[in-house]
Structure 1
Amino acid sequence: MTTKPVPSGAGFASFLSVVRSSDDYAAFLEGVQFGVHNEVHNAVGGTMVTFASPRDIFFYSWHAAVDMYLHVYHLCNFGVPLTEDELLSATKAFTKATDTCDGVSGIGPNAKIVQNVVVDGQTIDVADHPTLGKYFSHVGSEMWNYGDVTQLGDYSYSYDLPDIVTQQLLSNSQICPASSGSGSFRGSHSDSSSSNDGAYVVSPDDAGYGYFNETEIPTHSGIYIVDNSTDNSTYAPPSNANSGDYWQWTQTTYDGLYDRFDGDMDLVVQQMHYVECEAFHKAHGIEDFSDDFVQNFHLASSRPICGKKVDEIDAGDVVVACKTDEFKPEAIEFADDHVIEEIKRDYVPSTTTEQYMDSDYYVDAQTKAQQTPVGGTTSITPVATPAATESDYTVTSTYPTAAPTETTSTPAPTTGDYEHKHCE
């Protein structure tokens, strides 16, 4: 990895865009899965571009980070712990089975978890596995039971989140509704938290505080930059999370767009994504997915999300509010007022409308999913689950996996079902 550039999808504006533009948990999952998740797999290469990627020890470190991203979405929108009502009904906590996209049913929060494994030639429910069963049976068998990592009984956990996440995202009240004036999510998410003269004290019994971080950053708006010229404006030491050319560039871009778009954060974040992708392309170049990765992961295109953003700009399909050739604040050039007004007038929200996976594979996978036994329960039918790979230890819902939903038998869609791009 020392010889590989950081993938384009790993930029702050890219993650900010996924968080802000995702109206529900399903859209956020898709944005992470087909964005930074895929780009890191492709960049690492080797086994990581195949479905045998769990054989690479880096896989587990990376997927722990991906799981952290998912938890951050909950922290941003709700805080923790999530209530049962939120997990069962709030679309940003969990997608609903009634949601559909291109004929494929969504994942219901009360859908039964299907995780069949083959042991000694026999297919069994993983909950019945003599070794693994305890990890799947003690909390519950429905999807919502596992929706909050702070409510998994003995297996609850929290994250030591990176400073970039805490200082630039979760504490930004313009982005995260769950931001509060307490200065720390951890101090406001658990009734069992102890305190000392108003300062939060980490308790080893406090399994549900959500995350911990050495530096508390009060709630703020915009991008947080350490200013060394004053004594009282800093809450954290200078670091790669709050100082340097990139963050000065990010702050200048954010503030400039915020002023020009009258505080419309949807427009600000959308335009920041475009300009960051363009700057990354000019400064480093955007690497397409390899042929092996596209084939093995059944993708519809070799272009990563930032590559497609740059293609839109080059084709004249989108009007951008600013341009830059490098990540330095002085390199940013904002468009004139006429262009800004045009962007405001013609604004269309960024939505997840693209079929990222190959349509033929998707159809085949759903057909096979309908034929998959579900723990002996005939009333549950998995929908849109990719087919299993052959191995000595086979999981019928191998990654990337969409969970089953309670439904009646659903005819497999044809390729023609995927011709339209917008989902209701």
Structure 2
Amino acid sequence: MRYLYLLAAALAVVSAQIASPACPTPRIRRAWSQYCQADKDLYIKAVSLGMKRGYHHRFVEIHIEPASNSEAHDSFFFYWHRAYLLAYENMLRSLGPQFACITLPYWDYASLGANFISGGCTDMLSCGPLLKDFGGSLPPTAKGPYTLTVNGQVFQADNCVVSPLTRNFCQNSTAFNTKKCFNCMPRNDWSKAPVPPDVNALSVYSNVLGDVPPNLDGVTSGVQWGTHNMVHAVLDSTMGTFASPSDPVFYAHHATTDALHAIYYNCIVAGSPPKNPYDDDRTWTTTRNFAGKTIVPSDLITMKVGEAGTVPASIWTATSNPIYPFFQGIPQTYLPYADSTKLGAYSYKYNFTGTMLEDMNKQCSAFKPAGAVLLTTDGGPPTAAATKESMWLRDATILASNYYTEDADITHQVQMMLCVYYNECLGGVFDYSDEFKTNFHVSKKPPCKRIVDDLAGGNTVIGVPGWERAMLKTYPCNGASALFL
């Protein structure tokens, strides 16, 4: 096994030496909320140009290909997507000198959750700027619903959005070559998409560090089956299928899940790096590929490119494919992707300044969501929504600590309170739709749905008397059941 690990490490070193980016400064990804208007305009221009040149839709081909998405949505969820995002970022940087230092933005979910639970907004579209900046979902001449196909993936869409970001979108290589592209982005009406509890600051923390085992399987399960899946599910349409990389929102969403793994690595692994990452459950796990073979460190990451209905080729050897160059130089095996800061010329970090993730990354298991939600991107006073959420998290934590002593137990109790409040007072907590379960091969319920069902079935309890009254001091509740009140 040590030989396999050393071989994989050697391959990573060689690949990192093949090419170096044109940008002279380190790659540092930032929250979209930190972008000035000029930065936003530059990013939107780059993605639109990547579509126009025929690169963007070929990344969609990889994500849809069965053997590829099988590995992408299993135990190596983080590592597979880390390689994928890095290649997409390389593509954007290749488009011209003005784009040479572009990095993918990540989506600061916590502000969505704080705004929604406070009553300051009602849906995914209105609770934060990113979806609006990415073109929104409500064209004035919408004529949907439509049944559409992107590279063989069939789905429903309320609208097809034309915006500076989406007007060059093409659904497959044949359409691109024959100039029959959609030239718009299929989307559902996001003004009807509820903000799920999974994007709340407390839920994000629970999925990464607070309520999952401190190993790769634990954080993968917490993030993939919780925050990650639920955002895909509520946005739905293209985002509810494996054609989701069609929508540029995908890359901001997955940059966030990647950032959550970077926090996990910093908090759980970096302080005592494994001598052999292959033998450490913090960085490696046992899983099989699409063909049923156990993946070992020397195995290439499965990424196959090609339009649906054709014979796909490994992106690592598909020299004639237009996006082949963007994968050259990055590691071709999984283990090097355990640490985004150790990828040679392609290393990158995250700037968490002004986001809820900043304190999580610094404080790790000592993280207190009550303080983190008060952070602002401009250094100014926190919003009323953030202040209100901070007050509730503080009060709930103090109350729970009267009955529980372990930090993990206290966090879990407060998490259950949040889930019940969503279920009773904010429209309900729901399972994924049958269609989404089929599309994403989902077998687990969302975390809050599991909690609510366990409470209803008597399999667990919120052992904090009076928590309902404490919550209602901060957040009102219309239509709650008598049991809640």
- Distance of 1:44 and 1:53 partners within structure 2: 10
Shift of 1:249: 0.8
In 1, the alpha carbon distance for the partners of 2:285 and 2:262 equals: 18
Which of 224, 229, 248 aligns to 2:371? It is 224
The residue identity in structure 1 corresponding to 2:304 is N
User: How big is the shift at 1:84?
Assistant: 6.9
Deviation at 1:270, TM superposition (A): 1.9
Aligned match of 1:150: 341
CA contact (8 A) 1:47 1:53 kept: yes
* Alpha-carbon distance in 1 for matches of 2:420, 2:235: 23
Q: Which residue of 2 aligns with 1:267?
A: 409
Q: SS at the partner of 2:443?
A: coil
Write the distance in 2 (CA, Å) between the matches of 1:136 and 1:32: 26
By how many angstroms is 1:16 displaced?
Answer: 2.1
Q: Measure, in 1, the Cα distance between the counterparts of 2:385 and 2:358.
A: 11
User: Alpha carbons of 1:222 and 1:147: their partners in 2 closer, same or farther (altered >3 Å)?
Assistant: closer
Residues 84 and 266 of structure 1: is their aligned pair in 2 closer, same or farther, counting only changes over 3 Å? closer
Alignment of 1:366-377 (within 5 A): none
CA contact (8 A) 1:294 1:300 kept: yes
Once residues 233 and 413 of structure 2 are traced to their aligned partners in structure 1, the CA distance between those partners, rounded to angstroms, is: 26
Q: Does 1:28 align with 2:219?
A: yes
Query: Which of 379, 384, 387 is equivalent to 1:244?
Result: 387
Letter in 2 for 1:114: T
For residues 417 and 358 of structure 2, what CA distance do their matches in structure 1 show? 23
Per-residue deviation, 1:108: 4.9
Higher helix residue share: 2
- 1:218-262 Cα deviation digits (max 9, x unpaired): xxx6742799xxxxxxxx643259941111111122233334323
Query: Secondary structure of the residue that 1:159 maps to in structure 2?
Result: strand
Which moved further from structure 2: 288-297 or 21-30?
288-297
* CA gap 1:122/1:107 in 2 versus in 1, 3 angstroms: closer
Query: Is the aligned partner of 1:293 residue 2:450?
Result: no
Which amino acid letter does the alignment assign opposite residue 38 of structure 1?
N
Say if 1:95 and 1:107, in contact at 8 Å, map to a contact too.
no
Residue 32 of structure 1 aligns with an amino acid whose one-letter code is V
Aligned residue for 2:265, secondary structure, equals helix
CA contact (8 A) 2:238 2:246 kept: yes
1:90 maps to 2:232: no
Q: Give the count of matched residue pairs.
A: 272
Partner residue of 1:165?
A: 357
Q: Identify if the C-alpha distance between structure 1 residues 145 and 324 changes in structure 2 by more than 3 Å, giving closer, same or farther.
A: same
Q: Secondary structure at the match of 2:432?
A: coil
Deviations 1:25-46, CA, capped at 9 Å, x for gaps = 1221122111111111111122
Name the structure 1 match of 2:205: 16
Equivalent position of 1:194 in the other structure: none
Secondary structure of the corresponding residue to residue 260 of structure 1: coil
Q: Counterpart of 1:129?
A: 318
Q: Per-residue deviation at 1:174?
A: 4.0
Kindly indicate whether the alpha-carbon contact (under 8 Å) linking 1:224 and 1:242 is maintained by their aligned counterparts in 2.
no
Amino acid at match of 1:290: S
CA contact (8 A) 1:274 1:320 kept: yes
- TM-aligned CA distance change 1:118 to 1:79, over 3 Å: same
Check the 8 A contact 2:202/2:369 in 1, yes or no.
Answer: no
Asked if structure 1 preserves the Cα contact closer than 8 Å seen for 2:203 and 2:415, the reply is yes
Q: Which amino acid aligns with 2:371?
A: Y
Q: CA deviation at 1:137?
A: 4.7
CA distance in 2, matches of 1:86, 1:238: 46
Q: Please list the CA deviations of residues 139-181 of structure 1 after superposition, one character each: whole Å capped at 9, or x if unmatched.
A: 43321112221222232222222521113x23335447xxxxx
1:11-410 equivalences under 5 Å are: 11-18=200-207, 19-20=209-210, 21-79=212-270, 85=275, 87-92=277-282, 94-97=283-286, 108-109=296-297, 111-118=299-306, 121-130=310-319, 131-161=322-352, 163-167=355-359, 169-172=360-363, 174-175=365-366, 223-224=370-371, 237-240=380-383, 243-262=386-405, 264-284=406-426, 285-300=428-443, 303-322=445-464, 323-324=467-468, 327=471
Check the 8 A contact 1:7/1:287 in 2, yes or no. Answer: no
Query: In 1, distance between residues paired with 2:205 and 2:248?
Result: 28
Structure with the greater relative contact order (CA < 8 A, sep ≥ 6): 1 or 2?
A: 2
Distance change in 2, residues 1:254/1:90 (3 Å): farther
CA distance in 2, matches of 1:108, 1:268: 38
* Identical counterparts, % of pairs: 23
In structure 2, list runs of 5 or more residues that go unmatched: 1-124, 127-190, 477-485
1:176-206 superposed Cα distances (whole Å, 9 cap, x missing partner): 7xxxxxxxxxxxxxxxxxxxxxxxxxxxxxx
For the structure 1 residues 140 and 48, does the alpha-carbon distance in structure 2 shift closer, same or farther, using more than 3 Å as the test? closer
SS at structure 1 position matched to 2:348: coil
RMSD across aligned positions (CA): 3.6
Structure 1 residues 138 and 240, CA gap change in structure 2 (3 angstroms): same
- Residues 268-303 of structure 1: CA deviation (Å, up to 9, x unaligned): 2221221111122222122432332123223336x5
- Structure 1: unaligned runs, 5 residues or longer: 177-220, 228-235, 333-424
Amino acid at match of 1:309: I
CA gap 1:24/1:280 in 2 versus in 1, 3 angstroms: same
Tell me the distance in 1 between the aligned counterparts of 2:306 and 2:435.
Answer: 28
Letter in 2 for 1:164: M
